[in-house]
Amino acid sequence: MAKDKITTESRDLLAKVSDVSTETEYFSPIPAGYKKGKCRYVIVMGTVMSGLGKGIFSSCLAKLMQDKGLKVSPIKLEGYLNIDSGTLNPFRHGEVFVLDDGMECDMDLGTYERMLDQNLSGSNFSTSGQIYSSVLRKERHGDYLGRDVQMIPHVTGEVKLELRRLAMNSEADIVFVEIGGTAGDLENAFYIEAMRELAYEEGPGSCCFVGLTYILEPKTLGEQKSKAAQLGIKQLMQMGIQPDIIACRADNPVSEQVRQKISVFSNVPFERVFSMHDSSSIYMIPSMLRDCGIDFQVLRLLKIDDRINLRLERKAWAQWCDFTDKIGKEDRQITIGITGKYTSVRDSYASIINALEHAGIALGCKVGIKWIETTEVTDDNAAEHLGDVDGIIVPGGFGVRGTEGKIACIKFARENGLPFLGLCLGFQMAVIEFARNVCGIKDANSTEIEPDCEHGVIDILPEQKKLEGLGGNMRLGGRDIEMKKGTVAWDMFNRQAQVRMRFRHRYEVDPEYIEALESAGVVFSGKAPNQPIMQIMEIPEHPFFMSTQAHPELTSRPMVSQPMFIGLAASSMKRRYPKDDLQGSVDAAKSVCV
């Protein structure tokens, strides 16, 4: 009893500590107005290896909670020292996902946005660089009152402060915390320690810890082995974390015997050791979690059963099942070529892959992908690379490598009626290709690629920099696009006067060349409101020739497809099945577009 009393008094004391004092070792900054116990935390950590699907598990579990009427807010904690993901090479880290507020972040934020159908912000993403920068700013300002600033309690305190701010500002019932990498990574140690402290400070029933591990199945042995998983979980336990749930990633369903071993070794009840094996689509994972009862296990652990709305859940789940029931039942198939320079790493184009899947499901058509490395493509061999695809996407990218190959792909698509969708750099390459081969401006180029070119049809413009007030920085985040009436794009977006998409670029179409381009047949069907910044380009006479300076793939959602991807997939279907009447499928798909 005496021990329980001391523990309770300790928690009460540090719940009151919101400013710094040299008189106590309890230091845990708490934002004004924060109410302990109102929000719960689900914390997902990895073991064995990274890239196993922590974001997928976390977002799927968050969706199940959201369906029950609970308000959820995710956050990804990254161990690297970069302030954001903007400078990371796609070969090393996958795509850079851009939020509406302009934050450049990890691709897992895209998984959360798609699964939760929710726009996130910079408060849902943090890096070690952000945490350290904040601590050092406070130290320089004298906020620590002369205390020696340490990893514990100051850096860990800053992490907890971020989580509590998110909980309070989002008014979330549950904050889902995903820690990047694995428990063995040195750069993640302070995050994991912060989570241990958070659970202690918030009290029993406040936090649910999930350990995501990997079950090996060597082909030479022909059986599943759990030793690596056991050792990874042991690392978590040595750091003071007792997992409440173990999610076992594997190629095939994890056997009962292996789950029993994991349960005994980790002190986790057998019913909370979950097999998260490979699935035909990540959108089937919520059903796997629900069938195993993991959602209600979490509710009981967090003691918030009384907050759920079962009537809302039945309705939300019925809608989700209507969507997932279409997966794998497509009666047609098309192939889309993705012509880029990061094609060896599929995560570089994660949002494009998802957007194509969404469009295919909406149209009742399976969308296959052919990866085409553009550094190998020329005018002479473009037909060889593109002859067996039904449409192409020329995606974004930076730098010179592969740009001439992208131009060759666009030329082939324009001249042969091949459905084409250009994204960001793909939009710029389409302008250059048209300027060269239709307008006769033979040396047309981008000043990013050739700084001293005579005809920089793509350029950084002084008047645009003045308008945007961004100097040489990129235009980032959500921007409104003014649509031109009577165009293909205007009709595609259900004849809206304005639409919103996300951007990540520096270079624009030089207004000096707009008249020449339009006279030759280009239509700029979307532009920045009140500014000479072209944002959507089309060729009306072509079966489907559409490109945009934006990244429309970032806003595609499972049950609300992005119109440009619907347009590309529908046109590709008509090319593959010219005798079929597809209008009914196309109209049905357009009715659920963004």
Instruction: Read off the pLDDT of residues 244-279 as tens digits, 9 standing for 90 and up.
Output: 999 999 999 999 999 999 999 999 999 999 999 999
The residues spanned by each domain of the chain are 2-323, 332-590
CB-hemisphere CA count at 13 Å for 19? 4
Name the residue with higher pLDDT: 131 or 7. 131
3-state secondary structure 525-564: EEECCCCCCEEEEECCCCCCEEEECCCHHHHCECCEECHH
CA distance 301 to 296: 9
Confidence bin at 50 (pLDDT 50/70/90): confident
Topology annotation, domain 2-323: Rossmann fold (3.40.50)
Helix (H/G/I), strand (E/B), else coil: 313: helix
Burial (CB count <10 Å: 0-12, 13-18, 19+), residue 469: exposed
pLDDT computed for residue 535 by the predictor: 96
Q: Which entry of 60, 365, 551, 593 is annotated as an active-site residue? A: 551
Confidence bin at 583 (pLDDT 50/70/90): confident
Instruction: Read off the pLDDT of residues 167-203 as tens digits, 9 standing for 90 and up.
Output: 999 999 999 999 998 888 888 899 999 999 999 999 9
Is the pLDDT assigned to residue 8 strictly greater than 60?
no
CA distance 263 to 269: 6
**Inter-axis angle of helices 128-140 and 156-170, to 10 degrees?**
100
Q: Which entry of 193, 385, 553, 593 is annotated as an active-site residue? A: 553
Is 508 annotated in the active site? no
Is 409 annotated in the active site? no
pLDDT computed for residue 464 by the predictor: 52
Is 207 annotated in the active site? no
In 299-450, beta strands by DSSP E: 332-340, 365-373, 391-394, 420-423, 444-446
Residue owning tokens 């069938």:
291
Token pair of 280 as six digits: 């035909």
Q: Which entry of 365, 424, 439, 593 is annotated as an active-site residue? A: 424
Name the residue with higher pLDDT: 5 or 349. 349
Instruction: Read off the pLDDT of residues 68-114 as tens digits, 9 standing for 90 and up.
Output: 999 999 999 999 999 888 877 766 677 899 999 999 999 999 999 99
**Inter-axis angle of helices 350-363 and 563-576, to 10 degrees?**
60
What average pLDDT score do residues 276-301 get?
94
Superfamily of domain 332-590, CATH level 4: Class I glutamine amidotransferase (GATase) domain (3.40.50.880)
Residue owning tokens 């109209």:
587
Q: 228 and 258 in contact (C-beta within 8 Å)?
A: no
Helix (H/G/I), strand (E/B), else coil: 523: strand
Q: What is the pTM of this model?
A: 0.91
Give yes or no on whether 2-323 and 332-590 have one common fold: yes
pLDDT computed for residue 538 by the predictor: 96
Lowest mean pLDDT of 61-75, 220-234, 423-437, name the range: 220-234
